[in-house]
Amino acid sequence: MAQRIAIVSALHAELAEVLALMPDEHKRRVGGRTFWTGHLHGHDVVLVLSGMGKVAAAATTALLIDRFQAGQVVFTGVAGGLAPGVEVGDVVVGGGFIQHDMDASPMFPRFELPGQGVTRLPADAVLAQVLQEAAEDAVTWLPKLLDATTLATLGLHRPAVHRGLIVSGDRFVSTDAESAALRQAVPEALAVDMESAAVAQVCRDFGVGFGAVRTISDRADNEAHVDFPRFLDQVARHYSARIIRRTLNLL
């Protein structure tokens, strides 16, 4: 039997578009979260909002796998761009994940997950490839959806897709100093979010494939006080829905 695919977002607007596509959803509340099960593009799926932060995301992932038999987990959401050239409106597909606020030194090296002997958690290679193809389609489609004024107001030019390291921690990074420190500590990092590496850790514990796709909503700097509702409404939710639809068609 085909594996059930979990689709997870931190924020409601990102999931609402996807939910609207699901004709036969069934709702169940567990641990203060609402899980929607049903079918999308021929796949058995479960959708849930993780809430923000690593603990919320980790607990949600454990429930998805243990209570809802998720065999693969896909996270869709927004992130702050860290590497040069990772701009607002771009999409980052996770190739690997590090918890940037994990530091049990001197017992374990900085960033290493204590007792696990691992720092960088991998994405499922097939999921990452499919998410990349889906994201490439979405970035060429979005500029056609929005008018020139909206694109200019949001600072969007020619959105690009990047694939590589995403770092996660329980902080919304919103100062030049903090993003510079992160770039220095983890030079490979493309983007920063608050959930992906936590979900990756739980998926690894259970032997479940994980993929993450993040739209860049800000540059994690002093200007990172973006108007989130507006960015979600005009950009991120469209990307999420389009990428998830296409991903499910490709899987």
Size of the site for ligand ADE (CB under 6 A): 13
The answer for residues whose C-beta is within 8 angstroms of residue 203's C-beta and 6 or more apart is 61, 65, 73, 209, 210
Stretch that binds ligand ADE, among 13-21, 95-103, 110-118, 213-221 (CB under 6 A): 213-221
Stretch that binds ligand ADE, among 53-61, 67-75, 172-180, 196-204 (CB under 6 A): 172-180
Per CB under 6 A, 174 contacts ligand ADE:
yes
Q: Among residue numbers 220 through 239, which ones bind ligand ADE (CB under 6 A)?
A: 220, 224
**Pick the catalytic residue: 14, 90, 112, 221?**
14
Q: Among residue numbers 66 through 95, which ones bind ligand ADE (CB under 6 A)?
A: 78-80
Of 176, 187, 182, 181, give the one whose Cα is nearest residue 219.
176
Q: Is 218 a catalytic residue?
A: yes
Of 178, 202, 212, 251, give the one whose Cα is nearest residue 7.
212
The residues facing 97 across adjacent strands are 121, 166
Q: Is 136 a catalytic residue?
A: no
From the list 58, 93, 138, 192, which residue makes contact with ligand ADE (rule: CB under 6 A)?
192
Instruction: Return d(Cα 81, Cα 53) in angstroms, integer.
Output: 17
Of 180, 158, 181, 174, give the one whose Cα is nearest residue 228.
174
Which residues are near ligand ADE by CB under 6 A?
78-80, 172-174, 192-194, 217-218, 220, 224
